[in-house]
Amino acid sequence: MWERIKAAVLWCWRILSTPAATLSLGFLTLGGFLGGVIFWGAFNTALELTNTEQFCISCHEMESNVYQELTRTVHFSNRSGVRASCPDCHVPHEWTDKIARKMQASKEVWGKIFGTINTRQKFMEKRLELAQHEWARLKANDSLECRNCHSSVAMDLSRQAPRAAEIHTRYLLSGQATCIDCHKGIAHELPNMEGIDPGWKVPPELQAALEEEFPVTSHTEAEVFERLERVSHSPHGFMWAMGDIAPTLD
C-alpha cells in the first residue's frame, strides 16, 4: 500500500519536473495565464454567489428564523430605503478577512448537513451560543461591519438625542466601548439575556484594566496625553475636539 502511494507521488513529480516536449513555451505561458484568469474569475464569482442574501436564506434555518426577524427591523425597511442584507453585517468586506470568515463558515456547512439547528426548538436552544460568537467577533474587530456604514467620523452628535450624544461621546468616541457592546439585537431577536450586563456597563474584568490604565482618582498631564495618544492610534482616527472628550477625563 505504502509502496504504491510512493510510486504514484514519484510519477506525478516526474511529470511535473520534466520539461514539456511537445507544447510550446508560448502556449504554456499564455495558457497558464488564461487558465489562471479563468480559475480566479470562477473562484471569485462562486465566492460572491455565496455572499448574497439569496444564498443565505436558501437554507430554511436562516430563512425562517433570523431572516424573518430581520424583516421587522430598521435595517430592513426604513425611511431612507437603505437596506442591510446578511453579508453586509456578517461577512467582512476586506478580501483576506472575508476568506478567513468563509473558511470558518465551513462549520456552518457541517451544521447544515447534520441538522444542528434544523428545528425552531434546536435553534432557540443554540441561539445564545450563536449570538455570543457574533458578539465576540464584532467586539474583536471593533464592530467593523457596523462601521462600514456608520462611521463615528460622519456621526453628527448634534443631530442625536442629547442622551445618545452624551453616551456616544463618553463611551464610543473615547474607545471604551464599541457599537456591539450596546447595540445588541438590533437586527435579530435576542437570546435569553439573563446575566448579560447592559453594554454601557463596563465588565468588571475590563473595569480593573481601565482603572489601571486611566486611574479615576487623579489625572496628571501625562495620563491625559497617554489617553490622547491611544485615541490617535485608533483605526477610526482622531475625530473630535478637546472639549468633546473632557467629560471622560473627570
* Footprint on this chain of other proteins (rule: CB under 8 A): 73-74, 161-163, 185-186, 189-193, 198-201
Min dist. Cβ of residue 212 to other proteins (A): 20
Min dist. Cβ of residue 196 to other proteins (A): 8
| Residues 169, 244 contacting (CB under 8 angstroms) | yes
- The angle formed by the CA atoms of residues 180, 184 and 186, to the nearest 5 degrees, is 110
Min dist. Cβ of residue 217 to other proteins (A): 19
Alpha carbons 143 and 177: distance in angstroms, whole number: 10
Complex with other proteins: residue 144 or 187, whichever CB lies closer:
187
For 247, the grid coordinates are 467629560
| Residues 90, 145 contacting (CB under 8 angstroms) | yes
Min dist. Cβ of residue 192 to other proteins (A): 5
Alpha carbons 150 and 160: distance in angstroms, whole number: 14
Complex with other proteins: residue 19 or 195, whichever CB lies closer:
195
Complex with other proteins: residue 19 or 198, whichever CB lies closer:
198
Query: In the block, which residue shows the cell 485615541?
Result: 231
Complex with other proteins: residue 98 or 183, whichever CB lies closer:
183
Complex with other proteins: residue 51 or 117, whichever CB lies closer:
117
Min dist. Cβ of residue 30 to other proteins (A): 57
Complex with other proteins: residue 186 or 228, whichever CB lies closer:
186
Alpha carbons 80 and 206: distance in angstroms, whole number: 38
Give the helix/strand (H/E) hosting 49.
Answer: helix 25-49
Complex with other proteins: residue 6 or 72, whichever CB lies closer:
72
Q: How far is CA 180 from CA 8, 73, 124, 192, in A?
A: 53, 16, 21, 17
Min dist. Cβ of residue 187 to other proteins (A): 10
| HEC profile of 79-108 | CCCCCCCHHHHHCCCCHHHHHHHHHHCHHH
Min dist. Cβ of residue 83 to other proteins (A): 15
Alpha carbons 154 and 152: distance in angstroms, whole number: 5
